[in-house]
Structure 1
Amino acid sequence: MELRVVLAATQREYVAKLAEFLREEEPGWEVSAYTNASALRMELERKPDLLIGTRELVIGFRNAGGAAGKTIVLTEERDVRGEGFEGGAVSGEWETMALYQPLPSLLSGIRSETASQPSSARSGGAQVVTVFSSSGGTGKTTVALNIVRHAGEMGLRVFYLNLEALNATSLLFGRGEPDSFSRLMYALQSEAQGWEEAFRRLKRHQPQLRADYVDAPEHPGERLALQAETIGLLIDGVRRSGMYDAIVIDPDSGAGDWHRELLRASDLAIWLVVDDAQAILKADKLYRYWQGAAGSDFGPCAFVLNKATGTVAGPGMQNRWPLPCGLTEVALPYIPHWKAIDQPARVLADAAFAGAVERMCENLGIVRHSGKGANEKTRREVVHGGVQRARARGTG
């Protein structure tokens, strides 16, 4: 039975573990997870079949006007059905279940409550987010990995794809099998029927990020030989596998045809800039060039200021912003101690940066789960609102 299930709890580790368990045991369920009210509110607008949450989050939606078809409240207390839910907090009936119990027992209870629950139609697809920059040194990989980590913590199934010619993520992931990417691309282009099997065999899981990835090649030749058509096939292959809710892509900076195809095929391109006159000019030139070459086929793009020391377009911004589309509301802070970082995993451990990435993701709708099978228009509408807000703040 297919169900759209929303998990809501402020305990980040708990909700991530429960989401992962439900997906493993019930692959037909569409499971998304949230730890804060603002992101949860947007998800509940889609009227999920089942809301499972702790009291502090669920009670906040007493005026939601019908948040879910059915609600299960996770509580540390004894059954207090109905208490605190006056005024229309949730529509339909609700049950209470113990928050801390073996996950198989919790799943058994959920199954019994949803045995007669009708399922709603799936309406989305794996969201493809590319972190791009027209110049080096803007912190693409750091931002991409933090997006991946945040999406994984929200309970989404995430695939991280690094397409840099010179890839240093082995410092975080380990050396692995350097020919994995070559074998994957060979299978993609020559074994259409067996590609998914090869993909399942070659992908690996990174527990700290809660995401899958493919080992990077040892030498840059494989990435330098990428073609626009190949990029399209690769993205479509991963997306059609149905294994993921989000695909986060981390290419190198460049102005080639495959870079443009990558941004065209993405549901959102996060274009990083730093407060540097040359970097801003390069971004302006490349964006206008691609807009002219690709026209309306150029995908949604949000410019994000990284390594910020002040407010966007305020006293902390030393250079004028020339593009007609503005910067996003959220700027990512400069972290001075990263200059001397000796352990790559520490780029995932800074609370200020992680918090800014989380706010950016919510602002742009990056971690909103959209399910399987959506067409391109439906997927891109997920981030349309956030991009339009950024464009409205343009200072051109």
Structure 2
Amino acid sequence: MRRRVVLAAPDPQYAAKLARFLKENEPEWEVAAFTQEASLARHLKDAQRADALVVQSSMLERAREEAERAGWRGKGIVLADRPGEREPAPGWAEVAQYQALSRVVAELRSLVCEGGGREAGDARGTPVWTVFSASGGAGKTAVSLNLVRQACERGYRTLYLNLELLNATELLFGTGEPDSLSRLLYALQAGPERVRDEWERLRRRHPWLQADYLDAPDDPSERLAMTTERLKQLLSALTSLGTYDLIVADPDSGASDWHLELLAGSDRVVWLTVDDALCLRKAEKLCRHWQDELFARPGKVSFVRNKASGSSANRWSLPGAAPDGELPYIPQWKAIDQPSRLLQAPAFCGAVDRLLDGWGLVPSGRTAAETGT
């Protein structure tokens, strides 16, 4: 449903990131962002009625005056530094500004949409980002782990979900309980009420990753048994736990219905390519094959060139004029004797940081104690 939202916050960087995050997660919303009170006042006077006016608390007094003067009618929402600390403005709801953007968006959605929540048929909780490639060897696991670690460092409670047919992450995390995934899938079949208890027993946490994960299975039959319907049940259960702010999925490469279900159900697809003619050609064919399912929503798929080392030798043939970002080639990663070194390459960490900034995953403002790290 089309909705118009007016956003006002004095910090230009925050206003731009929140507006972009809203547009990416709610593509049917029209968002107008302002950082100056005078510009906001002119807009409220001249523009058509909006569904909601979202105002940072420092701009609230002037915004209310101008809204009343313009005869504006809609839902008023305050982005509060400390919700509940002051007497709320009559008729205005409060949303905490300094929390994960995913939560800010979820609360705004609930307040803006009639009846609360998203439109019927979409009950997603925690956002899912999937790191994908049309062919092997693109570095999905290394990229996934770096995204997870830096999301955690920004204050997001993050789950790393490896869904590869041949999962070798025991080399990184150590050997644990190899049938964790099958146990969790069994709990899903036994009843949703068992999932939370089973998850608390099976989930693991590693000190250098700072995120939760499942132990790698010894037998690929665990993943082979994961049907499209089971995948939907698994994602629904994990996103409904309320334990995480972000889930990063790391599947193997492929073009099956199972892969499409995962990517179509993800909030963001980080599609990795490398500067290789065969890799690019495979990605081009798969993009055409999945055009309607993945590319109808702008901003859902982000192409990232991994293992970049200088200018590209191949013409860019995928959607968009160029990749959304590049990640450098790290030759030391060919032989990892200490897993933590995957997360300690300054050039790579800096490139990942720039991607997260561009995708609106700003630091949430929570402390390490609050995130449990």
Match of 2:187? Answer: 187
Q: For 1:270 and 1:144, how far apart are their aligned partners in 2? A: 9
SS of residue matched to 1:178: coil
Question: Size of the alignment, in residue pairs?
Answer: 279
| Residue in 2 that maps onto 1:156 | 156
| Aligned residue in 2 for 1:390 | none
Aligned ranges 1:274-353 → 2 under 5 Å: 274-291=274-291, 296=296, 300-310=300-310, 316-353=311-348
1:119 paired residue number:
94
In structure 1, runs of 5+ residues without a counterpart are 1-36, 47-61, 71-87, 93-109, 311-315, 370-396
Is 2:160–2:247's contact at 8 Å kept on the other side of the alignment?
yes
**Residues 268 and 221 of structure 1: CA distance in aligned 2, closer, same or farther (over 3 Å):** same
User: What does 1:349-368 correspond to in 2, within 5 Å?
Assistant: 349-366=344-361
* Deviation per residue, 1:202-235 (Å, 9 max, x gap): 2122232221111121111111222111111111
Q: 1:368 to 1:225 in 2, by over 3 A?
A: farther
RMSD: 3.2
How far off its partner does 1:199 sit? Answer: 1.6
- Is 1:132–1:253's contact at 8 Å kept on the other side of the alignment? yes
Change (3 A) 1:298 1:223: farther
- In the TM superposition, residue 276 of structure 1 has moved relative to its aligned partner by 0.3
Q: Sort the Cα spacing of 1:115 and 1:204 in 2 relative to 1 into closer, same or farther, 3 A.
A: farther
Partners of 2:157 and 2:296 in 1: CA distance: 30
In structure 2, the partner of 1:69 is 57
Describe the SS at the equivalent of 1:286: helix
SS in 2 for 1:114: coil
Quote how far apart the aligned CAs of 1:294 are: 7.0
Please give the secondary structure, in 2, of the residue aligned with 1:281: helix
Q: Distance in 2 between matches of 1:282 and 1:176?
A: 35
CA distance in 1, matches of 2:12, 2:128: 22
The code of the aligned residue for 1:336 comes to P
SS of aligned partner of 2:325? coil
CA deviation map 1:238-282 (0-9, x unaligned): 111111111100001111111010000001111100000000011
Q: Which amino acid aligns with 1:345?
A: S
| TM-superposition CA deviations, 1:319-374 (whole Å, max 9, x none) | 112223344342101112222332222110001001101101111234587xxxxx
Name the CA distance, whole Å, in 1 between partners of 2:352 and 2:295. 30
* 1:298 positional shift: 10
Q: Secondary structure at the match of 1:162?
A: strand
**Identical-residue share of aligned pairs (%):** 48
TM-score relative to the length of structure 1: 0.63
Distance 2:322 2:236 in 1: 29
In structure 2, the CA distance between the partners of 1:293 and 1:322, relative to structure 1 (3 Å rule), is same
Residues in 2 aligned to 1:301 and 1:122: alpha-carbon distance in whole angstroms: 24
Per-residue deviation, 1:302: 1.2
Match in the other structure for 2:135: 135
Q: Deviations over 1:68-105 (max 9, x none)?
A: 437xxxxxxxxxxxxxxxxx8x999xxxxxxxxxxxxx
Instruction: Report if aligned partners of 1:129, 1:247 keep a CA contact under 8 Å in 2.
Output: yes
Give the Cα separation in 2 of the matches to 1:173 and 1:91. 54
SS of residue matched to 1:328: coil
Look up the equivalent residue of 1:152 and give its one-letter code: C
Residues 148 and 160 of structure 2 are in contact (CA less than 8 Å); yes or no, is this contact kept in structure 1?
A: yes
Deviation at 1:309, TM superposition (A): 0.9
1:384 maps to which residue? Answer: none
Amino acid at match of 1:114: E
